[in-house]
Copies of this chain bind each other. A is one copy, B any other.
Amino acid sequence: MARKRLTREESRDQTYQRLLDAAAHVIAKKGFAAASVEDIVAQAGYTRGAFYSNFKSKADLFIALLSQDHQCVRQDLQKILDAPLSMADMQEQISQYYVQVYRDEKNFILWAEARLLALRDAKFRARLNAYCLEKRDDIAHIIEQFFKLRGTEPPAPPKDLAFGTMALVDGMRFFNESAPKELTDEAAQHTLGVIFNATFFK
């Protein structure tokens, strides 16, 4: 099939996006530190020239990558936030959240890598922290709405509960990825359900 003739801008955007996709793949596979610029551009089908003409550094690319994913996830959360919220929905949504947070294993690994990198790189940490807080506030807002709807007082500040929720889901996911089969997805979701129900429907 005939390849469309691209304008300069289209071509550049395509390269940029392909580099991001390749980076996601390689970083998830080998880890951020072990993923060389060479690996990434090879996976994308370019040479190192393309990389340095698009990004300042590997960390720079990684932030672009995370930023993109973060926007997608927030859009999904926004949908939950915008939809009229009923009590039944809430319970359903929370238990579904476990499955939704990271759209797939790859993205989960990317964020785990990112958090580890953040422990060491202050600039990176600042960036990641901002994303993390945005997400927390989105969730806190949902929780707040829930308790308002229910007419009861939340047992802790909604923001803290949101933090707890994220932590629990992330932790669960982490254990489950690195120790597969020990805990079935059903068991994980059930346990999450127990904890959440206890906390939110006490």
Q: Indicate whether A202 reaches chain B with its CB closer than 8 angstroms.
A: yes
Residues of B close to A42: CB separation below 8 A: none
Q: How far is the CA of A179 from the CA of B130 in the complex (A)?
A: 9
Contact call A115/B171, Cβ cutoff below 8 A: no
Chain A interface, >50% SS class? helix
Q: Indicate whether A192 reaches chain B with its CB closer than 8 angstroms.
A: yes
Residues in A lying within 8 Å of B, measured CB to CB: 29-34, 109, 112-113, 115-120, 125, 128-129, 132-133, 155-157, 160-161, 163-164, 166-172, 174-175, 177-179, 182-183, 187-188, 190-192, 194-195, 198-199, 202
Q: How far is the CA of A195 from the CA of B7 in the complex (A)?
A: 55
Q: Which one of A32, A177, A199 has the highest number of Cβ atoms from chain B below 10 Å of its Cβ?
A: A199
